[in-house]
Structure 1
Amino acid sequence: MKPSRLPDDAPNILVVLIDDAGPGLPDTFGGEVKTDTLSRVLGEGIGFNRFHTTAMCSPTRASLLTGRNHHRIGNAQITELANDWDGYAGEIPKSSALAPEVLRDYGYATSAFGKWHNTPTIETGAAGPFHNWPTNIGFEYFYGFLAGEASQYEPNLVRNTTSVLPPKTPEDGYHLSEDLADDAIDWLRNHQAYHPDKPFFMYWATGCMHGPHHIMKEWADNYAGRFDGGWDEYRELVFERAKEKGWIPGTAELTERDPRMPAWKDIPEDERAFQARLMEVAAGFAEHADVQAGRLIDEIERLGHGANTLILYIWGDNGSSGEGQNGTISELLAQNGIPSTTSQHIEALHELGGLDALGSVKVDNLYHAGWAWAGSTPYKGMKLLASHLGGTRNPMAVRWPQEIVPDTTPRPQFVHCTDLVPTIYDLLGITPPRVVNGVHQDPIDGSSFAEMLTNPEAEETHKTQYFEIMGSRAIYHDGWMASAFGPRAPWVPGVPAGITEWTPDHDTWELYHLAEDWTQAHDLAERYPEKLLQMKEMFAIEAAKNSVFPVGGALWVPIYHPEDMISTPYRSWNFTGDLRRMPEPIAPRLGFRANRVTINAAIPENASGVLYALGGVGGGLTCYLDDGYLCYEYNLFIIDRTKIRTTARLGAGNAEIVVETQPVSTAPGGPLTVTLTVNGAEVASDTVPVSAPGLFSANDCLDIGTCLGGAVSNDYADRAPFPFTGMIESVNVTYTS
């Protein structure tokens, strides 16, 4: 056995990371969401009320685990939007090794659970390559999902480098957050049995509160009526509570709502119950995840590790998400740029069982951006806004009973997600290695906050930090912050007018003295123009050092060149009949490209079952047989469904089934004609009036012969996964233009 190079009392380390959550949600800090575990960690340890993230998930996670700034390690945006500029390449370089890689070499056992989202999208299939998967860059064990989000009921999961199915069905009570806690507890028990002398490093990153907001009805019902007053009232309530709890200073001011954000009074009366229920579901979802984190901590204590385990509970990898925009039952609808009305969502929801369907396996709901704004109380921003603290300031609670004396007064020092790694190294006496696995290492950008853990008066060590996400940007230095909002408000639907002509040179910069203005309530740009100029120059220097240029480079794919979105280079595929769980981003783009799917199958009498399915409950397309009838459905994010069905049953015997899809025009999202033929004869056709120009899902897949993820069609949802009763010999997919 390799000898340990660690101190004899090296602590175990648990990092809990909540997704897409703002500081105004937990009751720990004055919100309405019950977070007993977060309160427990804070009450038995200390809190940091000036901990900062990057305003986006993949960038924060990459920085948190490497100690380097997100652009410098090619993670300026989510991996699906990678491009050729160095800062935006979507792959963490080997010259910036993750902390678990180093800790493993020093003698730690390492594991990760939940959301990853730091492997290049093109590499996330069952055949790899695996060199950028968690278990090849430092973690000895991984269980979770590689994408940015997942259904909490029917996720596409991997264990180490193997695609696996959830251990039970939604009908049996499956929920992803519980599964992640169960698996982490199993890992802890195995660790205790096999390596009791080794400390562990565990990264537990639940997919909550990222959309879709999925939770069992009873959890949402706990919040019935709690949000009926709307987001404006909620912010005022939380603001006062946060002051009473001492989480924010008494001098802090509640910032105003952006005029582009609707007030609660602007929401029609007949839509308010829908909007309030979306928030009730989100709150239940968040509480449930916090409970699962508590189960994990309980097990650590039961195994005798409580006193010497350093727990860092980070509430949010960015602020709350406004990507639900006006409130949605299928969150990728907005991300595909397809306009819709709230009444469409309510009408479609009515067919699924009404408001009780929210949070269920039937929908992929996400709350109104007004709730994201409220969840980021008392700040102006939210996720995707690197310019304002609601997108970049997230609470962190730290507990280590053996070393940290509990203190109810929050630590006020500026801390950044890049600081976690150097802090861990500092505590363990590890000098950041110059070479890892033969690769010379880049310097670490973060600074240690180890002294702050035991000394509340410790000097602030992180003096300067830039922020940039999709053109929204800021620079912090020694109590001051200069901010440029950027080209778009994330809560406004559609592509902003004129964005293709946008240049960062014309953005208006704001200036704030954070040492006196906690919430960026007072813009001092006109009063101190020289200070603003100094800060802007500092941003330019930091941007040049960290490969930020071109500012807004992450917009290249989603705004300027969506045709460059990550996909495979292939134009033709030959599949066997048992293809399972091919992630949609690397599967054939059947939803908008001109294509032909040719299926050779042996058809029994009155055959039933899925021939193929792409996507999931929230959107997708599927071809299947139902009691002998050949069927096709294009599920446009639940709000519209195009169904095609033959008038006669297919006879028994070998058959060649062809599904031909042809765009009517070259416009993204335009109509499609879909034609079904059997043995050369046309048997049915129809027109899909609106198509999805992007992805149907972020984590669902292409399956052949079954539908293992969310049921694309409601017509077979109660029979899912609805395996085909015949035999599929081959499936050929070819792009036809």
Structure 2
Amino acid sequence: MIAAQQSADSDRPFFAYLAFGATHSPHQAPRAYVDKYKGRYDDGWDEVRQRWFARQLEMGVVPEGASLAPRNPGVEAWDDLSQDARRLYLRFQEAFAGFLDHTDAQIGRLVNFLQEQNLLDNTLMIVLSDNGASQEGHENGTLNELAYYNKLPMSIEDMISRIDEIGGPNLHVNYPRGWAQVGNTPLRYYKAYTYEGGIRDPLIVHWPKSIDDPGGIRNQYHHVIDVFPTILDCIGLDTPDTFKGITQKPVEGVSMRYTFAANSADAITRRGIQYYEMMGNRAIWHNGWKAVTLHCPGTSYENESWALFNTENDFSEVQDIAREYPEKLDELIKLWWREAGRYNVLPLDDRNAELFVMRRPTGKAPVNHYRFLANVGHIDRFKLPDFRNRSFCVTALIEHNVGDDGVIIAVGARTGGFSIWIEGGFLNFAYNYLAQKITRLVSDRKVPNGTSSVSVSYSKFAENEGTITMWIEQSRVGQAQLRMLPWRQTIYGMDIGCDHGSTVVDNYVAPNAFSGTLYYVDFDLDNDRDDLQLAAAAEFEISIAEQ
């Protein structure tokens, strides 16, 4: 992208936004990157956390006098774990580290390119993360987050037999929360909390031409909304009050450029206040003081217990001084409400389940018939027909001749889903239940030459159970009973006429595009379920993991 821009107009500045999936789950990396970290963490998360904290103090990335927060609730002492648990948890962390290392290598490719093109010295690079390490792996971690989304936890015994696949393309791995706390060293809690473990992130700024303190560390308090005004400040642009006659919202951040000078290490921050709100969890930082509360959905916001910390001498929020300074706490709570009103946080919305389940409005009434044309590209999960726990039928109109094989439709990936394909002239269906059980049907006759319809229908006879039937035209060509997942059917989405993912099954190699002619694939859904409210509640419990 940058090479093309530079080739077309090398005198024109460029702006590039490079957003990695790392290190959000799934934790996947080339095997060499994962293997590089074997043995690196064998001392366990308690000892590793101590070492990282000592290193942070030595480097100055946490202030002198900071404390290491105690283990978070629900994190066991490493020495109390079984041998199998330790072995499994170590591999999870090795995969995470390999994933991060691989990402760093890709950033290095960009840096090398800029250097080779003599662009590095005058390119402002800003590298940051989006939140603290996540606890969605819970106590044991998971090989397959689709199991987590379906409220089907995986035990150590379930996972240990596949330990050598961790970090590979066919698993959707997340590590246990004990390693997540290591990732947040020396802080408390995780992503989704408004304690520092959920909201404090590293920020690296590189601009050799204009930063005269390379390698310097800055401790001024800033927020992600300050990145945009910093860029504008560096390139000498002001934001207009109006654009094409339309009044613009003011930029709410402040520039961090003042911290670039060598003599700015002790400069007072130009961001004196910052509020936080995440699913009702709230916090506010003001001139070194911080108030924070954890919200229980469905309860009143007015009578919650707030903690108070002086972050100037309590970096890790381990000394709650709310009782010693009730007036200061009351002042900060009032400030939170003021800032929330100023920045359109209010009214606080406790409809968590509904909001997370809600799909974006399309302007159309709900329908039970969907048509997907060939060559449409990958279809996101949120655009799939909602076929969970209901009867449905998938029908494809194709033109088939001798030798035409390949995938008609693939929903999901190796972690779970279903695929319909033709192999050796026979119609095939497979349902992948969390990579634990594959139900496969092969038609008892070949697909005829010429134009025909092929179908797979699911007739529900109990909750999440039914009969799967394959059809060629109006003739039944295969049947079996099938148990389906209760909530999420896939975390990957759907491909029409091919299977681009880590394939739903290992019977073919991606993309296995259908070599005949595929005209369309239809979904027809029945209204034979009454679990919508239950489904909404389940979606809420698992939704935060996707953020």
**TM-score, scaled relative to structure 1:** 0.66
SS at structure 2 position matched to 1:307? helix
Tell me, yes or no, if structure 1 residue 419 matches structure 2 residue 226.
yes
Q: Which residue of 2 aligns with 1:233?
A: 47
Shift in CA distance, 437/659, structure 1 to aligned 2, threshold 3 Å:
farther
1:545 to 334, 342, 353: 342
2:65 to 251, 260, 270: 251
Deviations 1:461-497 (A, max 9, x none): 101111111222211111011111233xxxxxxxxxx
Distance 1:722 1:328 in 2: 29
Deviations 1:308-335 (A, max 9, x none): 2222222x11111222223112223323
Q: Which residue of 1 aligns with 2:397?
A: 600
1:672 Cα deviation from its structure 2 partner: 4.5
Give the fraction of aligned pairs with identical amino acids, expressed as a percent: 30
Deviations 1:544-601 (A, max 9, x none): 2222234354724367xx3x34486443123334443222211223444432212233
8 Å CA contact retained: 1:470, 1:554: no
Distance 2:268 2:245 in 1: 36
1:453 to 251, 260, 272: 260
Tell me, yes or no, if structure 1 residue 644 matches structure 2 residue 440.
yes
1:359 alignment partner AA: G
8 Å CA contact retained: 2:254, 2:271: yes
1:376 to 166, 172, 184: 184
8 Å CA contact retained: 2:441, 2:480: no
2:37 to 211, 223, 232: 223
Q: Which residue of 2 aligns with 1:721?
A: 511
Q: Which residue of 1 aligns with 2:26?
A: 212
SS at structure 2 position matched to 1:588? coil
1:542 Cα deviation from its structure 2 partner: 1.3
Q: Which residue of 2 aligns with 1:479?
A: 288
8 Å CA contact retained: 1:592, 1:672: no
Distance 1:695 1:380 in 2: 34
Tell me, yes or no, if structure 1 residue 516 matches structure 2 residue 313.
yes
Q: Which residue of 1 aligns with 2:273?
A: 464
SS at structure 1 position matched to 2:418? strand
Distance 1:554 1:220 in 2: 41
1:712 Cα deviation from its structure 2 partner: 0.8
SS at structure 2 position matched to 1:631? strand
Tell me, yes or no, if structure 1 residue 306 matches structure 2 residue 120.
yes
Tell me, yes or no, if structure 1 residue 532 matches structure 2 residue 291.
no
1:526 Cα deviation from its structure 2 partner: 2.1
Distance 2:151 2:303 in 1: 26
1:409 Cα deviation from its structure 2 partner: 4.8
2:485 to 674, 687, 691: 691
Distance 1:618 1:438 in 2: 51
Distance 1:728 1:250 in 2: 66
Q: Which residue of 2 aligns with 1:7?
A: none
SS at structure 2 position matched to 1:582? coil
8 Å CA contact retained: 1:637, 1:696: no
Shift in CA distance, 225/678, structure 1 to aligned 2, threshold 3 Å:
same
Shift in CA distance, 506/268, structure 1 to aligned 2, threshold 3 Å:
farther
Q: Which residue of 2 aligns with 1:491?
A: none
8 Å CA contact retained: 2:427, 2:447: no
8 Å CA contact retained: 2:189, 2:196: yes
Tell me, yes or no, if structure 1 residue 358 matches structure 2 residue 148.
no
1:721 alignment partner AA: P
Tell me, yes or no, if structure 1 residue 679 matches structure 2 residue 473.
yes
Shift in CA distance, 459/705, structure 1 to aligned 2, threshold 3 Å:
same
8 Å CA contact retained: 2:45, 2:178: yes
8 Å CA contact retained: 1:612, 1:706: yes
Deviations 1:295-351 (A, max 9, x none): 21122122122222222222x11111222223112223323433332322334x2xx
Distance 2:175 2:245 in 1: 47
Distance 1:275 1:342 in 2: 9
Q: Which residue of 2 aligns with 1:620?
A: 417
Distance 1:603 1:305 in 2: 54
Shift in CA distance, 726/205, structure 1 to aligned 2, threshold 3 Å:
closer
1:207 Cα deviation from its structure 2 partner: 1.5
8 Å CA contact retained: 2:399, 2:517: yes
8 Å CA contact retained: 2:407, 2:499: yes
Shift in CA distance, 525/332, structure 1 to aligned 2, threshold 3 Å:
farther
Distance 1:270 1:477 in 2: 46
Distance 2:124 2:425 in 1: 60
Distance 2:354 2:285 in 1: 28
8 Å CA contact retained: 1:381, 1:390: yes
Shift in CA distance, 636/508, structure 1 to aligned 2, threshold 3 Å:
farther
1:365 alignment partner AA: V
Distance 1:409 1:705 in 2: 54
Deviations 1:604-629 (A, max 9, x none): 45764212111222222212233344
Q: Using the TM superposition, name which of 541-550 and 568-577 deviates more.
A: 568-577
Shift in CA distance, 573/711, structure 1 to aligned 2, threshold 3 Å:
same
**TM-score, scaled relative to structure 2:** 0.88
Tell me, yes or no, if structure 1 residue 735 matches structure 2 residue 525.
yes
8 Å CA contact retained: 1:629, 1:645: no
8 Å CA contact retained: 1:469, 1:554: no
Deviations 1:11-48 (A, max 9, x none): xxxxxxxxxxxxxxxxxxxxxxxxxxxxxxxxxxxxxx
Distance 1:441 1:513 in 2: 37
Size of the aligned set, in residue pairs, is: 520
1:433 Cα deviation from its structure 2 partner: 1.3
Distance 2:461 2:187 in 1: 46
Deviations 1:371-417 (A, max 9, x none): 111101000022211x2111111111222222212255521210111
1:428 to 217, 224, 235: 235
8 Å CA contact retained: 1:599, 1:658: yes
For 1:127-526, list aligned pairs within 5 A. 187-314=1-128, 316-325=129-138, 326-347=140-161, 349=162, 355-385=163-193, 387-406=194-213, 408-454=215-261, 455-487=264-296, 499=297, 501-526=298-323
1:281 Cα deviation from its structure 2 partner: 1.2
8 Å CA contact retained: 1:275, 1:327: yes
Q: Using the TM superposition, name which of 395-404 and 336-345 deviates more.
A: 336-345
8 Å CA contact retained: 1:633, 1:641: no
8 Å CA contact retained: 1:630, 1:650: yes
1:714 alignment partner AA: D
Shift in CA distance, 193/578, structure 1 to aligned 2, threshold 3 Å:
closer
1:238 Cα deviation from its structure 2 partner: 0.6
1:506 Cα deviation from its structure 2 partner: 4.8
2:330 alignment partner AA: L
Distance 1:552 1:275 in 2: 37
Shift in CA distance, 554/265, structure 1 to aligned 2, threshold 3 Å:
farther
1:426 alignment partner AA: D
SS at structure 1 position matched to 2:284? strand
1:677 alignment partner AA: W
2:444 alignment partner AA: A
Shift in CA distance, 446/361, structure 1 to aligned 2, threshold 3 Å:
same
Q: Using the TM superposition, name which of 260-269 and 407-416 deviates more.
A: 260-269
Gaps of 5+ in 1: 1-186, 350-354, 488-498
Gaps of 5+ in 2: 528-547
Distance 1:537 1:593 in 2: 49
Shift in CA distance, 423/726, structure 1 to aligned 2, threshold 3 Å:
closer
Report the aligned-residue RMSD: 2.4
Deviations 1:632-651 (A, max 9, x none): 2222332x334131462335
2:25 alignment partner AA: G
Shift in CA distance, 257/620, structure 1 to aligned 2, threshold 3 Å:
same
Higher gyration radius (CA) = 2
SS at structure 2 position matched to 1:715? coil
1:266 Cα deviation from its structure 2 partner: 4.5
Distance 2:332 2:253 in 1: 20
